[in-house]
Structure 1
Amino acid sequence: MMGSSASESAYRVLMGVLESRTGQTLSPSRIWRIEMSLKPVMQRHGIADLDALVAALVTSNSRQLLDDTVDAMLNNETYFYREYSVFDEIAATALERIREINKLRRRLTIWHCGVSTGQEAYSMAMLIAEQGAKWAGWQVDIVGTDVSHHAIGRARVGLYTQFEIQRGLPVQRMVRWFDQTEGGWLAKADIRRRIDFSVQNMLIDRPPLASPADLIFCRNLLLYFSAPMRQKAFARLRAMAAPQSFLVLGAGETVLGQTDQFVASPRLRGLYEPADQQVRSAAAA
């Protein structure tokens, strides 16, 4: 059921704008939230209602209004060390396998696709920093991309509220890697400089990766794609992945029935590998 204060055509246009700009679709459970999500945008731009917003989007060439509208409709839910078991598996096993595979190149590339406000990328940056000597002499690239200008802007700054900093981040890590300021908790420069954040549409843009990704995070993003868009997204992820690499999806996601580009890792629970060349370690050889 559509909202009563706007025409159905306005909702259809807004959903079309979202899909054309991001590949994402709005589920019925999210459609009713459109008006509430867009209220701050309409207030900021002096627009009375959704019909007027749609008219402004059609007649105006304001890039800011379009960016603000799309940003407001996105779900930027994220937090530090989301699902600890996944990060434990990556730290203990996946990174060790990648170290073995890349020991001659001594290069590690991690891509966070749909990184939102950056907590996931900062979690990996802290994990790598805490492993210290293991990565001495290695080129480690951590790249975070998202379609949301607002989210990437926040990620680059690395400033989080008390609620955000406490959500998933243990106190010892909070104190070690963040400074408390008047505006919130600010990631220390040593962690911020380890990550390259940029605005990218994963379906269209090529992420700024200097080499194929050894580890790709794409968690709870593909849930919002239609089946054809999801297949296209998986193909893009495979194109950016190293032949022997790992893909991390959200807890409620799977590749089964979705794509033939990736398969569940036979050894690492919750991780996926390229179907055409699964990761093989020295131990498994």
Structure 2
Amino acid sequence: MMGGGGGSDSAYRVLMAVLESRTGQTLSPSRIWRIEMSLKPVMQRHGIADLDALVAALVTSTSRQLLDDTVDAMLNNETFFYREHSVFDDIAATALDHLRTINAASRRITIWHCGVSTGQEAYSMAMLFAEQEARWAGWTIQIVGTDVSYHAISRARAGIYSQFEIQRGLPVQRMVRWFDQTGAGWLAKADLRRRVDFSVQNMLVDRPPLGGAADLIFCRNLLLYFAKPMREKAFARLRAAAAPQSFLVLGAGETVLGQTDQFVASPRLRGLYEPADQKVRRAA
């Protein structure tokens, strides 16, 4: 058996295939055992007894909601505010200075959070710009967050976080300044929420809803879940969305080495990446 006692091997294979076809993501052996546990709430909500019955329902049902709920439950939506704080410090101190110089004529910066999950990293960037309001006066700052999970995007748009989520990576001063405590949790202030646009998107299929090429792309710990062909396609999609002189932010355990020739390590910022062909484009 691939997993626990709630389903046959064929049920696990079908569910894994559904996840990959809908999102491009694959389940590593270490995550397969989580399928049944992750899907229990979905099965309870839809009155389904076990994984075999769920697969049968997916095959026969015309309910888009059941399919969305099933895929959503198998996704990993791990994120938190100012994840790897040193990365945000380097972006604030160096990357934005570079982009400010490069984009001085247009006075526009576009940031894409790909695989944004429940929105904490996008709101982290929004806080960074909001706290430098005078410096960016007259500039258009577009911050876009996309994710394949409709549930995660719904939560990101709402901007409501639990006590655990709000304390995870967020200094007290920022928590008090940018969030209000409510009965439902900590609510991002309207001024913060309006600075980020969230939408449900599959980055392997959909064009990101950007007003122009992205100057800064966050794609952290998402590509880990893609098989190599899908990962190569994902890097190509990221490059297609990136400005000639831009930065790509991956997770701490990720690299472009041996994965793609679309990006190279940034000579300016350790841990960030830049389009491999940007020197050619500069000379063009």
**The TM-score by the shorter chain falls in which range?**
over 0.9
Determine the structure 2 residue equivalent to 1:251: 252
Aligned: 1:147 with 2:148: yes
Determine the structure 1 residue equivalent to 2:78: 77
CA RMSD of aligned residues (A): 1.3
Determine the structure 1 residue equivalent to 2:138: 137
Q: Measure how far apart 1:278 and its partner are.
A: 5.1
Aligned: 1:100 with 2:117: no
Could you list the runs of 5+ residues in structure 2 that have no partner in the other structure?
none
Moved over 3 A (4+): 278-281
Aligned: 1:45 with 2:34: no
Partners in 2 of 1:144 and 1:36 — Cα distance?
Answer: 28
Determine the structure 1 residue equivalent to 2:57: 56
Determine the structure 2 residue equivalent to 1:157: 158
Q: Measure how far apart 1:2 and its partner are.
A: 2.7
Letter in 1 for 2:218: F
Q: Measure how far apart 1:3 and its partner are.
A: 2.3
Determine the structure 2 residue equivalent to 1:260: 261
Letter in 1 for 2:104: K
CA contact (8 A) 2:244 2:281 kept: no
Partners in 1 of 2:176 and 2:223 — Cα distance?
Answer: 34
Letter in 2 for 1:192: R
Partners in 1 of 2:93 and 2:192 — Cα distance?
Answer: 21
Letter in 2 for 1:157: A
CA contact (8 A) 1:246 1:273 kept: yes
Q: Measure how far apart 1:132 and its partner are.
A: 1.3
**Aligned to 1:133, what secondary structure does the other structure show?**
coil
Q: Where in structure 2 are the equivalents of 1:1-285 lying within 5 Å?
A: 1-277=2-278
Letter in 1 for 2:15: L
CA contact (8 A) 1:247 1:272 kept: yes
**Aligned to 1:66, what secondary structure does the other structure show?**
helix
**Aligned to 1:116, what secondary structure does the other structure show?**
coil
How many corresponding residue pairs?
281
Q: What TM-score, normalized by structure 1, do the two folds share?
A: 0.97
- Provide Cα deviations, 1:75-110, integer angstroms capped at 9, x if missing partner: 000000000000000000000000000001000000
Q: Measure how far apart 1:4 and its partner are.
A: 2.8
Letter in 1 for 2:152: A
Which deviates further from its counterpart, 260-269 or 270-279? 270-279
Q: What TM-score, normalized by structure 2, do the two folds share?
A: 0.97
Partners in 2 of 1:26 and 1:3 — Cα distance?
Answer: 15
**Aligned to 2:36, what secondary structure does the other structure show?**
helix
Partners in 2 of 1:135 and 1:108 — Cα distance?
Answer: 10
- Provide Cα deviations, 1:203-236, integer angstroms capped at 9, x if missing partner: 0000100100000000000000000000000000
Letter in 2 for 1:182: G
